[in-house]
A and B are shown apart, each in its own frame.
Chain A
């Protein structure tokens, strides 16, 4: 089968690769880019562990072929923190016990980052609905829900203080 050249901007860096069309974006990120923060659980679009941002939209990277991302911009969990440390979403997950084993956490963190960008003042039902596409087997979700509310409260405080 013919391989295809792709160029994807990942966390701001241009990445080129020659790939089989069947290679998923998740496998491109993990195996060709060395960005193993994107986790693969089910590989058929159920668990949400592989969620990344594709042109800013949260998507399951196991349900996108790398060739479909050619010329597009991808942000993985590695791209959410900077030299100053964790993002506020990541800090809140830590503070609220929003993780235990951590396998699902990158997918949750990426999902929540996009969700709160689009909906900065969600109610509890909206939070739970937004989290419904990501599975966690450790926490029972309560800590994760609390973390999302914590981010909203902190951002509100910061906006008020500013």
Chain B
């Protein structure tokens, strides 16, 4: 099918883009890489009078390490993230999630900001942003504000962004020390949205094998990406050998509220979720220990 007709703007500055969003309100939609929006338009699941294409705004692209964080411009493509050595060094969780996004043709167009603003609960970047407590840098006619990832995802495909706000960039805090990271997913075919998945970060104390901090974010396990807070609370401060990965998985599955659909029931998703959390936990701990 073809999209319903719309007006199109291609601003070259973020200010101009924000001005257009302010002028047109919720009749306008930001077009970033379009890899989620264009299918929705083509299937007529979504209709907008106007698209504001941010693909020609250079200031929204780029990857930069500053102030203990890795900042990725919203319009930076997944493929650029995938190729970037700084991402691998400063934000391994981002680097490991990226190849799981769609297929190479999708990653050549899809963007970090687009994925997060689209807020699909089964997508990788929203869960990674939540796991790492990323800060989302937002522009509007009222200026600049920062939204914490934990306050950003408000519902299925819904965020804290107002209609005149533009996601400009994402800052992922750098975890240093003895840290490990893993993303595990189960999907029916490579590149599909996961039936269930988990992004895990673990940091151990410098001088002993005790969990200093950890983050377990669940992918496709609720209407929003969620942190498995009871699993995290049970592990922090505990000697690593005393933490049973299967128990972390079981607790995490209890923190989820998975949907039932053609790919699996909620009960099935909880079981798969527990397994992928356990797997990701084991992998992240293994890396943290060797660090």
9 additional A-B residue pairs with CB within 8 Å, beyond A44-B39, A54-B108, A57-B108? A2-B7, A22-B4, A43-B42, A48-B105, A63-B38, A64-B109, A129-B190, A133-B102, A133-B103
Q: Does B177 contact A (CB under 8 A)?
A: no
Task: Identify which of residues 1-29 in chain A touch chain B, using a CB-to-CB cut-off of 8 Å.
Answer: 1-2, 4, 20-22, 24, 27
Cα distance A58–B79 in the bound complex, in angstroms? 11
For A59, give its contact among B3, B6, B55, B105 (CB under 8 Å).
B105
Nearest-CB residue, chain A, relative to B8: A21
Q: Does B147 contact A (CB under 8 A)?
A: no
Indicate if the CB atoms of B7 and A21 lie closer than 8 Å: yes
Q: Does A111 contact B (CB under 8 A)?
A: yes
Q: Does B1 contact A (CB under 8 A)?
A: yes
Q: Does A68 contact B (CB under 8 A)?
A: yes
Cα distance A24–B103 in the bound complex, in angstroms? 20
User: Knowing A21-B51, A22-B5 touch, does A133 contact B104 (C-beta < 8 A)?
Assistant: yes
Cα distance A21–B28 in the bound complex, in angstroms? 14
* Count of interface residues, chain A, beta-carbon cutoff 8 Å: 33
Query: Which 4 interchain pairs have the tightest Cβ spacing?
Result: A133-B103, A21-B8, A44-B39, A132-B190
For A67, give its contact among B10, B41, B102, B109 (CB under 8 Å).
B10
For A65, give its contact among B4, B34, B79, B191 (CB under 8 Å).
B34
Cα distance A58–B104 in the bound complex, in angstroms? 7
Indicate if the CB atoms of A63 and B39 lie closer than 8 Å: yes
Cα distance A43–B189 in the bound complex, in angstroms? 20
Residues of B within 8 A of A (CB): 1-8, 10, 31, 34-35, 38-39, 41-43, 51, 53, 55, 79, 99, 102-106, 108-109, 189-191
Indicate if the CB atoms of B1 and A43 lie closer than 8 Å: yes
Indicate if the CB atoms of A67 and B106 lie closer than 8 Å: no
Q: Does A60 contact B (CB under 8 A)?
A: yes
Which residues of chain A have C-beta atoms less than 8 A from B189's C-beta?
132
Which residues of chain A have C-beta atoms less than 8 A from B35's C-beta?
45, 63
Indicate if the CB atoms of B106 and A133 lie closer than 8 Å: yes
**Residue-wise interface mask of A (105-147) relative to B, using a CB-CB cutoff of 8 A (1 in contact, 0 not):** 0000001001100000000000011101100000000000000
Indicate if the CB atoms of B106 and A20 lie closer than 8 Å: no
Q: Does A75 contact B (CB under 8 A)?
A: no
Smallest beta-carbon distance B173→chain A, Å: 30
Smallest beta-carbon distance B157→chain A, Å: 16
Q: Does A62 contact B (CB under 8 A)?
A: yes
Interface of B is mostly: loop
Q: Does A90 contact B (CB under 8 A)?
A: no
Which residues of chain A have C-beta atoms less than 8 A from B4's C-beta?
22
For B103, give its contact among A4, A48, A65 (CB under 8 Å).
A48
Between A and B, 19 residue pairs with Cβ closer than 8 Å are: A1-B6, A20-B5, A21-B5, A22-B2, A22-B3, A22-B41, A44-B42, A45-B38, A45-B106, A51-B105, A59-B105, A60-B105, A63-B38, A63-B106, A63-B109, A65-B34, A68-B53, A70-B10, A133-B102
User: Knowing A45-B38, A132-B190 touch, does A115 contact B105 (C-beta < 8 A)?
Assistant: no
Which residues of chain A have C-beta atoms less than 8 A from B39's C-beta?
44-45, 63
Cα distance A58–B109 in the bound complex, in angstroms? 9
Nearest-CB residue, chain A, relative to B189: A132
Which residues of chain A have C-beta atoms less than 8 A from B43's C-beta?
44
Nearest-CB residue, chain A, relative to B4: A22
Which residues of chain A have C-beta atoms less than 8 A from B34's C-beta?
63-65, 68
Most buried by B among A1, A21, A58: A21
Nearest-CB residue, chain B, relative to A135: B189
Nearest-CB residue, chain B, relative to A4: B8
Nearest-CB residue, chain A, relative to B110: A63
Which residues of chain B have C-beta atoms less than 8 A from A132's C-beta?
103, 189-191
Nearest-CB residue, chain A, relative to B1: A43
Nearest-CB residue, chain B, relative to A56: B108
Cα distance A114–B5 in the bound complex, in angstroms? 32
Which residues of chain A have C-beta atoms less than 8 A from B99's C-beta?
129
Nearest-CB residue, chain A, relative to B83: A118
Cα distance A67–B53 in the bound complex, in angstroms? 10
Smallest beta-carbon distance A39→chain B, Å: 14
Nearest-CB residue, chain B, relative to A110: B105
